[in-house]
Structure 1
Amino acid sequence: MRIVIRGTVQGVGFRPAVYRAAERCGATGTVRNDGSAVFIDTDKGEELLGELLSDLPPLARIESVEKVPADPPSGTGFSIVPSEGSGSGMSIPADSAICDRCVSEMFGDGRRRGYPFTTCTDCGPRFTLLRGMPYDRPMTSMSGFPPCPECGREFGSPGDRRFHHQTIACPACGPSYRLETKDGTFTDDPVGRLAGILDDGGRAIVKGWGGMHICCTLDRISDLRGWYGRGQKPFAIMARDMDTIERYGTPTPDEAAVLQSPERPIVLVRKVPCDETEDASPGLDTIGLFLPYTGMHHLLFSKLDHDALVMTSANPPGEPMAVEDRDARRIDVDTWLLHDQPIVNRADDTVVRMLGPRTQYIRRSRGYVPFRLDIPLKGSAVALGAQENLSGAIACDGRVWPTQYIGNGEKIGVPEYLEEAVRTQMALTGCRPDAVAVDLHPGYSNRRFGRLLAEECGAELVEVQHHWAHAASLMVDNGIDGCVALTLDGTGHGDDGTAWGGEVLIADLDRYVRAGHLQSIPLLGGDKALYDLRRLRFAIDRMNGEDNHDFTDSEAAVLGKMMDRSVTTSSMGRVLDAISYTLGVCTRRSYDGEPAMKLETLLNRGRLVEGYRPETKGNVVMTAELFSRIDPKDRPEDVAYSMVHGIVEELCQIAIDAADSSGIGPVGLTGGVSYNSAISCMFTNTVISSNHVATLHSQVPNGDCGISTGQVAVALKRIQ
């Protein structure tokens, strides 16, 4: 019998597990892989399969098992044969945090004592070191480190947990760390030396899996902000252990489970108020926390007096995270902890927040890529996302494969990184696209690559409206073929030439209809209004026929002339910005989403009071006049909550009415605004009270990092 197994079966110790199962049941035959599946030829197929399924490797995930009649294998015994070919489709897992057994080994008395590259078939980097398929050592960044005799013995021993572990290594044969300072290079206890520098207040860059971090102790955050030019944007904190996590945050049981999962993402949890947490995330109720996931991290904390470190992506200003030593040295820190194992695929830390038991991805990357979503559409397509929070997506053989998080397309090197990630994913999946999808906005930087790739492959270039792509991503995420969606975000190019962002769309993968939206507000000075929030309030006051005293008379005269000439926006994000400014929460935006994120602290404390339900005219929710109703006797948190609650309820009612008239069941919420837990709860409670299903994200990021998944689905539908 021949057994063909597909799923996550590369780089997880799957062939060794088959070998051990064969030994237990006395089967003869062979096992091999081709990069997309595992093939087992054996005389005892059913018995072997039963043994295998009863004891799968921890990282393995089986999607299908096919049994094919075949001649009995010749010879005696059972063997693992070399991989053949390079089958299409990625069947390897994402990077997985070092397992407890390997941590114990690092701190034991064996030959891997203190060795930071200790891993086994149950843990360690996978995607970030992979050059191609099948997953064998020559196709990884370990190809330059031939195993020593002792590692070779473990590799060939069926009873060893490193049997056929492709990245097996030890201090005698594997990669190594060194510490570079302005005074020289040190290979003797580099991690211990680094710990001393950090404890003394130094700043460092450390190279890990998939990229590098800038790090310092929490008492140095203020200095770090000044040096790094990051005045208010939150920093992620890596904590020694769960006891330390609970010093700085109050994770729910669901958040604690995700924090300790093998993926080890950054999790946004409610923070414990103190100087350190306020320094880390000024003005927010939450803080991003995560646990050590590499051997180096565990060694560092074992030698460090402090119990937590800032760990933020190391990049020259405006550029992608550094993976090359030369790029790290361009950043002027006190010391650099570097190693000699190449990083093949860059991957930032994943960032999530929980909505009850539901995981919502803000940034899906290390530990969660590669991953795939089934889609009932054939053909091949590529999508390139929007402009900020970029990711790409590849679709083929009825599956969508999003890339890792890329970054902001306006920044130096990011379009090139997007192209690199997309081409890598195309090679790993064997995709040659029939369509290439891009955002409708004519000025986005990734459109150049889109045109190039379409010409190169003879593919159709498909422009997809931004909010339709959001709605489509929600459909793919939930396996549905249509919905009415609230698509709420900052701004996206509308099909009428204005900036959208507070939309109700009736959508499937063929088309969309704009069923309703928020009132449009002029963006005085274009992008300047995104940062100088006074301009938003000035425009709103003029719309209400009221005076505004935030500007001098001459400034007001200039802005007044812009009212009829500026681009307008229906953005929910801009309304939240204006509320945040009006209530004194945030007067100027210094990073993406800052005013709305800080407003969430008020929303979480507010209660509903009368007088803040907006009027809806036709299908337009009138937001401007709400600002003239603000009563100074009402608490700011109640004003914020009531204004936002009223807007969300009106949008939900438009959506529910549209769903009723269209015979559509799912009513969904998507876009960057949907990360706001208070707004998500308002939406869910309102929709649940109707006869419709409240539909939210769970695998695809809510924000622009998920746009490419929606784009690629629309493109596939176009070419059917």
Structure 2
Amino acid sequence: MSTATRDHREFTVTGVVQGVGFRPFVHRLAVELGLTGFVGNAAQAVVGEVEGDAGAVAAFLRRLRTDAPPLARIAQVRTRTVAAPPRPGGGFAIVASSAGAGPRTLVGPDVATCPACLAELFDPGDRRYRHPFITCTDCGPRFTIIRDLPYDRPSTTMAGFPMCPACRSEYETVTDRRYHAQPIACADCGPALWFEQDGLRVTGSDAAVAEAQRALMAGRIVAVKGIGGYHLACRADDEEAVRRLRERKLRDQKPFAVLAADLATARRLAFVDDDEALALTGPARPIVLLRRRGDAAVTAGVAPGNPWLGVMLPGNPVQHLLLAQVPGLSLAPPDALVYTSANLSEEPLCFDDEDAITRLPHLADAVLTHDRPIHVPCDDSVVRVVDGQELPLRRARGYAPLPVPLGRALPPVLAVGGELKNTCCVLDGEYAFCSAHIGDMGSLATLRAFDRAAAQLTALRRVTPVVLAADAHPGYQTRAWAERHAAAPQLVQHHHAHVVSLLAEHGRIGEPVIGVAFDGTGFGTDATVWGGEFLLVGADPATFTRVGHLLPVDLPGGDAAVRNPCRTALAYLAAAGAGWDPDLPPVAACDPAELSVVRRQLATSAMRSSSMGRLFDAVASLLGVRQRIGYEAQAAIELEDLAGSGAGNPAAPLPPFGLTGDGLLDHRPVIRGLIERVRAGADRAALAEAFHRAVADAVVAGATRAAEATGVRTVGLTGGVFQNVRLTRLCRDRLGAAGFAVLTHRLVPPNDGGLALGQAVVAGFVAARAAQPQKGG
């Protein structure tokens, strides 16, 4: 072969390229193409060199992207010509990892057991038959076991489990599926599973699983240690067990998730379309919200009064074993379990073994546990499927810490998120890294969990933030945390952060958008409660203009109104000039003393609120759907479901929202129309649907007015209200028909779980501007 046809290239591949079988893939590709060289891990990338026929080198570089392993996420492939002669000895080698300096590589999320490992798990002839920690380069724990980068075994919580000769051979054989699979283990060298109940310990995987199954079938609550933390499990069809679980968790009405043995079982519990089946069976294994079947074999206490079930399928070997029959035993295992995080309501997930010793005895009757440490706790993700696309409601296991590419480099920032559904976010170069779901910042335990998550995320990225970003609300614990850790944190208005998070996940930072930010509560720049906002965000994402909003009302009693939709409804009745007649459901729900309290609050101490979330609560109350709530957004969720049941036979349109020249949406005509029809005995479902349509029409009207003033024809729908799929579809379809491009969430939640991303980007732009040299005069 002529030397003129040869090429020698250095390559650098960034993205999620460690722990996904990328180096053996590169090795196989190079050998197939007859190339020599090497490949290795560095902290920031996969790096290497190839030398050989120029056509083969070109094919190699092209196929690095097109043929990459399924779990890889390629961000960039950079190459340069190398003038040095070929490496002596020929061949292609995988070389040792180097830590190095500079940006760090991206960490992959935990991944559900792959089909190949699952087949081995239940193959009596395989040496890992029924091994609770079976894994390979295509599946298993990643994020939750990594202590440092590069991703090698000594940098994970598997460092304390020396490999046996058989595992070592697989680990070092480049053609093996487990080549450099860092969590690799077997029964001879891996972690151990055991069961504890009433002070007795049962060891041996099958014996431990069998005892856990017996306890579950007997109505016990069993704590199960998984990949990212402990769960509490009980039979989904056992009314008494579910009641005791609610009592112990202090969780009165909020739905529990259900772990189904397989897709067939999930279909017996709920209606599952093809797109929902893909979400259920995908590598992330999220909880998917599905419409419950009327004959589902789950007790009503699993999701009281809720037509939806949060269903997930087994995502790790312990779960697979727990729902499968133990060989040699006649005991039939449960095929569906309530499976909820092991914590008290509003507290963070229990994941540390020492913490479990203190917390679990108050929650569980028994424990199925193991000795592989969890370094980073990670709760279950929750999604809805909307028109074939996942809508994230809680972003955690299976997704975190996959980054959001920003398309431009920004200074390092730590954003601390909001008060509910908290996450934090770190900017590192061209990427934003969002933590897994942390929780509601209502307890010291959650604040400590936040401390840990922020420290882990910044340490993993080796980022020293130049600025901290926080919500502008003066009462948020997260803002107080930022002010304790920085002299002058960047404060970002709540709904501004929502809109920028949506732009960031779509890679459209710097493009103008009319952001429709609807939620329950956000601190406004005028010190009132916002939540029904039309914001213009332009080429500078660090600034915004409020171009419209819902007409504010006086909200009596603050949080008391949130917990009691009937009180919110009374405020809207008063604002509409309607009397508190006892024939109206919110009035009938209050005794004279409560009515007197609300009347006095409205006259003296009410907070002004433009919240669309509160308007949904008020309408739910007015239609008799829900007067008191047991968990966040319960009234709005039930109103959405009622609207869906009335979609096929909607009422005549309600009077439209008023719209003033300055973009003020007046809800009073809608409220008065609802009052009139409620008194006339109109169908509640039809009225709920008519209200949804009226809100969607108001969104179009508000966006059209803003577009006429600004020329902007892109609308973004964000905020917790847009977890309402019925409203989102109506708005999207009507906006599209009016000629708007519409952005909705697909990577981060529309709720406050997405706030930190928007905060980080806003603060990053402010910091970048401050760092630019100032032009002198």
* Fold similarity call, TM over 0.5: yes
Q: Structure 2 residue aligned with 1:646, among 674, 694, 698?
A: 694
User: Would you say 1:163 and 2:191 are equivalent positions?
Assistant: no
Distance in 1 (CA, whole Å) between partners of 2:656 and 2:620 is 18
Following superposition, the deviation at residue 180 of structure 1 comes to: 1.0
Following superposition, the deviation at residue 96 of structure 1 comes to: 0.8
CA 554–122 in structure 1, closer or farther in 2 if over 3 Å, else same: closer
- In structure 2, the residue matched to 1:443 is 475
Contact 1:106 1:113 in 2 (8 A): yes
User: Would you say 1:690 and 2:706 are equivalent positions?
Assistant: no
Contact 2:469 2:490 in 1 (8 A): yes
Contact 2:472 2:479 in 1 (8 A): no
Distance in 2 (CA, whole Å) between partners of 1:225 and 1:317 is 9
User: Would you say 1:620 and 2:620 are equivalent positions?
Assistant: no
The alignment of Structure 1 onto Structure 2 pairs a total of residues equal to: 716
Following superposition, the deviation at residue 633 of structure 1 comes to: 2.4
Distance in 2 (CA, whole Å) between partners of 1:624 and 1:313 is 42
Amino acid at match of 1:210: G
Q: Secondary structure at the match of 1:438?
A: strand
Distance in 2 (CA, whole Å) between partners of 1:33 and 1:637 is 59
1:541-576 residue CA offsets vs partner (Å, 9 max, x unmatched): 333241254444444333222113211211111111
Following superposition, the deviation at residue 305 of structure 1 comes to: 2.6
CA 238–247 in structure 1, closer or farther in 2 if over 3 Å, else same: same
Q: Structure 2 residue aligned with 1:176, among 169, 183, 192?
A: 192
CA 90–443 in structure 1, closer or farther in 2 if over 3 Å, else same: farther
Q: Secondary structure at the match of 1:398?
A: strand
User: Would you say 1:77 and 2:110 are equivalent positions?
Assistant: no
Amino acid at match of 1:9: V
CA 591–53 in structure 1, closer or farther in 2 if over 3 Å, else same: closer
Distance in 1 (CA, whole Å) between partners of 2:497 and 2:550 is 19
Distance in 1 (CA, whole Å) between partners of 2:442 and 2:159 is 35
- In structure 2, the residue matched to 1:318 is 346
Distance in 1 (CA, whole Å) between partners of 2:578 and 2:47 is 74
User: Would you say 1:306 and 2:334 are equivalent positions?
Assistant: yes
Distance in 1 (CA, whole Å) between partners of 2:506 and 2:59 is 37
What value does the CA root-mean-square deviation take over the aligned residues?
1.9
CA 148–682 in structure 1, closer or farther in 2 if over 3 Å, else same: same
Following superposition, the deviation at residue 511 of structure 1 comes to: 1.8
Q: Structure 1 residue aligned with 2:645, among 605, 609, 613?
A: 605
CA 483–149 in structure 1, closer or farther in 2 if over 3 Å, else same: same
Distance in 1 (CA, whole Å) between partners of 2:653 and 2:17 is 59
Q: Structure 2 residue aligned with 1:6, among 14, 17, 30?
A: 14
TM-score normalized with structure 2 length: 0.89
Amino acid at match of 2:599: G
- In structure 2, the residue matched to 1:358 is 389
Distance in 1 (CA, whole Å) between partners of 2:293 and 2:176 is 44
Amino acid at match of 1:235: F
Distance in 1 (CA, whole Å) between partners of 2:420 and 2:67 is 43
Amino acid at match of 2:748: V
Following superposition, the deviation at residue 668 of structure 1 comes to: 1.7
- In structure 2, the residue matched to 1:532 is 564
Following superposition, the deviation at residue 277 of structure 1 comes to: 6.4
User: Would you say 1:546 and 2:579 are equivalent positions?
Assistant: yes
- In structure 1, the residue matched to 2:717 is 669
1:329-381 residue CA offsets vs partner (Å, 9 max, x unmatched): 42331100111011011111110001111211100110001112222353221
Identical residues among aligned pairs (%): 35
Amino acid at match of 2:628: R
Distance in 1 (CA, whole Å) between partners of 2:324 and 2:733 is 46
Contact 1:379 1:395 in 2 (8 A): yes
Following superposition, the deviation at residue 77 of structure 1 comes to: 3.1
Which range is displaced more, 440-449 or 557-566? 557-566
Q: Structure 1 residue aligned with 2:309, among 255, 270, 287?
A: 287
- In structure 1, the residue matched to 2:233 is 215
TM-score normalized with structure 1 length: 0.96
Contact 2:537 2:544 in 1 (8 A): yes
Distance in 1 (CA, whole Å) between partners of 2:10 and 2:669 is 71
1:491-537 residue CA offsets vs partner (Å, 9 max, x unmatched): 11111111111111112313222222222222211211111222112
Following superposition, the deviation at residue 112 of structure 1 comes to: 1.1
Which range is displaced more, 74-83 or 257-266? 74-83
Distance in 1 (CA, whole Å) between partners of 2:312 and 2:556 is 40
Following superposition, the deviation at residue 664 of structure 1 comes to: 0.7
Following superposition, the deviation at residue 50 of structure 1 comes to: 5.9
Q: Structure 2 residue aligned with 1:705, among 740, 753, 771?
A: 753
CA 257–612 in structure 1, closer or farther in 2 if over 3 Å, else same: same
Contact 2:26 2:64 in 1 (8 A): yes
Following superposition, the deviation at residue 617 of structure 1 comes to: 4.8
Following superposition, the deviation at residue 52 of structure 1 comes to: 5.4
**Gaps (5+ residues) in structure 1?**
none
User: Would you say 1:412 and 2:440 are equivalent positions?
Assistant: no
Amino acid at match of 1:469: A
User: Would you say 1:348 and 2:379 are equivalent positions?
Assistant: yes
Q: Structure 1 residue aligned with 2:39, among 31, 36, 42?
A: 31
Distance in 1 (CA, whole Å) between partners of 2:686 and 2:95 is 68
Q: Secondary structure at the match of 2:448?
A: helix
CA 574–154 in structure 1, closer or farther in 2 if over 3 Å, else same: same
Amino acid at match of 1:577: D
**Gaps (5+ residues) in structure 2?**
1-8, 326-331, 770-777
Q: Structure 2 residue aligned with 1:469, among 494, 497, 514?
A: 497
Distance in 1 (CA, whole Å) between partners of 2:48 and 2:448 is 41
Amino acid at match of 1:97: A
Distance in 1 (CA, whole Å) between partners of 2:65 and 2:531 is 48
Contact 1:27 1:78 in 2 (8 A): yes
Q: Structure 1 residue aligned with 2:146, among 130, 135, 138?
A: 130
